[in-house]
Structure 1
Amino acid sequence: METIHYKQNISAQYCFSGNNASCKKEVQGGPGYIFLFIILSCISVCTVFLNLLVIISISHFKQLHTPTNLLILSLAVADFLVGLFVMPMKIMQLIDSCWYLGKLACSFTEIIIGILVLTSLCNMVFIAVDRCIAISVPMLYPSIVTPFKMSVSIILGWSFCVLYVLIFMYFNDHLMPAQMYTTCYGECVVFVKYPWVIANMVFFFLTPCAGILFLYSVIFIVARRQAKSIRAAAHQASQKVSNSSEAKAAKTLGIVIFFFLAFWIPFYISSLTVTNLTTLSIVWTVFTWLMFINSFVNPMIYAIFYPWFRASAKFILTCRILESSSSVVNLYREHS
């Protein structure tokens, strides 16, 4: 037994061999982890690629410069950064437990993750408000919701999320590298105090979700009432097309929000079962990845339900976007 124990000590690896306070290195190299690495890497690449298509489409084609599409653009930017920055970092942490970039990069990484996750939720709230206005008062919508007002709202939303995450990290002692507590050198762990778990649950899950569900209930009721009125009045046939389009957009974005909540609910429910959460826990890892995968699902929903996205993606992938007049092309006509 003594000989076996001695061999185990010899074979032990550490993150930094020249540092006595270094963490023990745990490299996951079994077949299961290799398969997981391949799957998650594919998800990361697809997340970047699909959201980049959304970003280029809405930015390039003038026909898509609408307030609703600006929200989709903002959501795609957050999802794109999740796939480009967050997913690769988390994949490497799954395969190799060591953190080689230092405390400053650790703190910065967790701040970026928090900002991107919260901006996704903020965009979902804005989307629900936008659709509610479009369905409730379609004639006044162009004057109430303009591209400029929507741009300002998006900027304010991102700014609020940045401010909240900085406050959150400060009060959890993770804003400054010197404040961060680690058990060994080569560790990047964020401990979340239970009061902040409750605060996040109330202010960044229950309240926004209740608002979103209420707004979509209003949308559903108004859409049904308008449909009945349209069927009853033949002279409103032209309005039927407009309302039908708005209802379809509301339905599509409602599906986006449904998947968003489905991926978020497990994380917040599980967070109430423990008094101290850490980013190294299995529960945190699994349900955090569910939230990340939501960034991969969103552009797939656009591809299925939005004709303009399929048409614009075809333009981009066939390099027709390089033509001088491509920005003013009618995507809906191209699709039909």
Structure 2
Amino acid sequence: SFFFFDISASSKFSLGVLVLLAFLMVLLSLVTILGNILVILAFILDRNLRHPSNYFFLNLAVSDFAVGVFCMPLYIPYALTGKWHLGRGICKLWLVMDYLLCTASVFNIVLISYDRFLSVTKAVSYRAQQGITSNPAIKMVAIWVFAFLLYCPAILFWEHVAGHSVVAADQCYAEFLHNWYFLLCASALEFFVPLLLVTYFNMHIFHNIQRRQRRGSTRDCEPARGSSLSWRFCGLPRPGASSPPSEAEDGVSFPMKAKKESLVTDCSSPSRNNSVIPENDFSVSFCAKTRSKLQQDKKRAKSLAIIVCVFAICWAPYSLLMIIRGVCQGKCIPNSLYEATFWLLWINSSLNPFLYPLCHVKFRMAFLKILCPKKFATLRLSSF
């Protein structure tokens, strides 16, 4: 109780409001920490999650976890009292970590969207790349390097280049906070360009899925007699028909030679009189797998769209107000409104772990295995 009375003496809030705000801030920090620990533990304990593309979710969880364990706790006393009591060195460290982690979180969302874009629209080349040249560690490290270069050099060296500091001794914010043209350029790279990229990726994903749905609705997948069976359900031209190369089901263009080779290996079983023997089980299985892949892509596309929408809602107010605040030197935007958008930005790190189960059934099973091992064992036994 002495702690709250001591803070309230130097705070603009009443004691009741102060207690409520402190409780909500600490709760948000705990939710962020525990939620992202759950994601990290899921990767450690469940080998099924260790797919190359899922490591990007792990990278996102690490950055969000660090926000909850470092950035939020150090900022809570500053937000409640309006004064920084931890010294200049800790202030610089906090600023570097805060800008680095939040920017890395955004870049990870872009990388996840790009990875989903490739897996849906260029499935064949994507699978080939996963087995040959893909190295998620390089992309994950690159995310952190780019995130560091965007803000951190300016945080560390701005006052040395300018020759003086504009930040008071009891305050802690970046020296460039009122430099609107730097904020405009940095915000474009941190939020507006990533938002355009993830929107572009998602639009193409949904367009690809809709095109595949239209093709599937006009194609008869039931077994048929004669040589037309395999050519029809594979979506390829009949033997002897002249048609230009077209896009495959996964959106990847193949040369005609590759198509002709795939006709023999995947889609047909020629007999002596050059007719195709219908393989009913094979055709039904093929169509079932195609439909299953389409449904899986639809679910992942919807879940990714939710993550992107949450990202836009949480980041847009802060990014816009930061630029406006820089233009008017902080005089046209109430500080309380700016503080609210600042916490909204951090809420994104708290929500991300709860959005993971929407992205993949393996996440749901991994979380269930950690939180409810008995229920997980029951479900696993019932599936056999």
Greater relative CO, 1 or 2 (CA 8 Å, sep 6+):
1
Which residue in 1 is equivalent to 2:228? none
1:189 is paired with a residue of what secondary structure? Answer: coil
- Normalising by structure 1, what TM-score? 0.80
Q: When the two structures are superposed, what TM-score results if normalisation uses the length of structure 2?
A: 0.71
Q: 1:334 to 1:149 in 2, by over 3 A?
A: farther
Alignment partner, residue 37 of structure 1? 22
Distance 2:298 2:379 in 1: 17
From 280, 285, 292, the equivalent of 2:346 is 292
Q: Which residue of 2 aligns with 1:188?
A: 172
The answer (yes or no) to whether the contact 2:99–2:152 under 8 Å persists in 1 is no
**Deviation by residue 1:249-278 (Cα, 9 ceiling, x = unmatched):** 222122111100111111122223232359
Give 1:187's aligned amino acid: Q
Q: 1:229 aligns with which of 215, 218, 243?
A: 215
56-65 vs 311-320, greater mean Cα deviation: 311-320
Distance 1:197 1:135, change over 3 A: same
- Give the share of equivalent positions with the same residue, in percent: 22
Pair 1:174–1:28, CA change in 2 (3 A): farther
Q: Does residue 209 in structure 1 map to residue 195 in structure 2? A: yes
Q: 1:271 to 1:186 in 2, by over 3 A?
A: closer
1:162 maps to amino acid: F
The answer to whether residue 113 in structure 2 is matched with residue 128 in structure 1 is yes
In the alignment, what sits opposite 2:313?
262
Please state if 1:165 is matched with 2:165.
Answer: no
- Structure number with greater Rg is 2
Residue 83 of structure 1 pairs with residue 137 of structure 2: no
Mapping of 1:10-159 within 5 angstroms? Answer: 25-26=10-11, 28-145=13-130, 148-159=134-145
CA contact (8 A) 1:82 1:116 kept: yes
Distance 2:336 2:204 in 1: 39
Contact 2:303–2:358, Cα closer than 8 Å, also in 1 = no
Deviation at 1:148, TM superposition (A): 4.8
Q: Secondary structure at the match of 1:140?
A: helix
- Verify the 8 A CA contact 1:74 1:123 in the aligned structure 2: yes
Give the 3-state SS of the residue equivalent to 1:272 in structure 2: helix
Question: What does the per-residue CA deviation read over 1:153-201, in whole Å, with 9 as the maximum and x for residues that have no partner?
Answer: 111111111122222324643899x964433x43323242111111123
Any stretches of 5+ residues in structure 1 without a counterpart? 1-12, 16-23, 321-328
Deviation at 1:296, TM superposition (A): 1.0
5+ long unaligned stretches in structure 2: 222-282
Do 1:47 and 1:80's aligned partners in 2 also have CA atoms closer than 8 Å? yes
Distance 2:158 2:378 in 1: 48
> Could you say what the CA RMSD is over the residues aligned between the two structures, in angstroms?
3.2
- Could you give the per-residue CA deviations for residues 60-116 of structure 1, whole angstroms, max 9, x where no partner exists? 311111123111111111111111111112222122333222111101100100001
- Corresponding residue pairs, total: 306
Task: Select between 224-233 and 119-128 the one with higher mean Cα deviation.
Answer: 224-233
Shift of 1:49: 0.6
Structure 2 CA distance for partners of 1:254 and 1:268, relative to 1, 3 Å = same
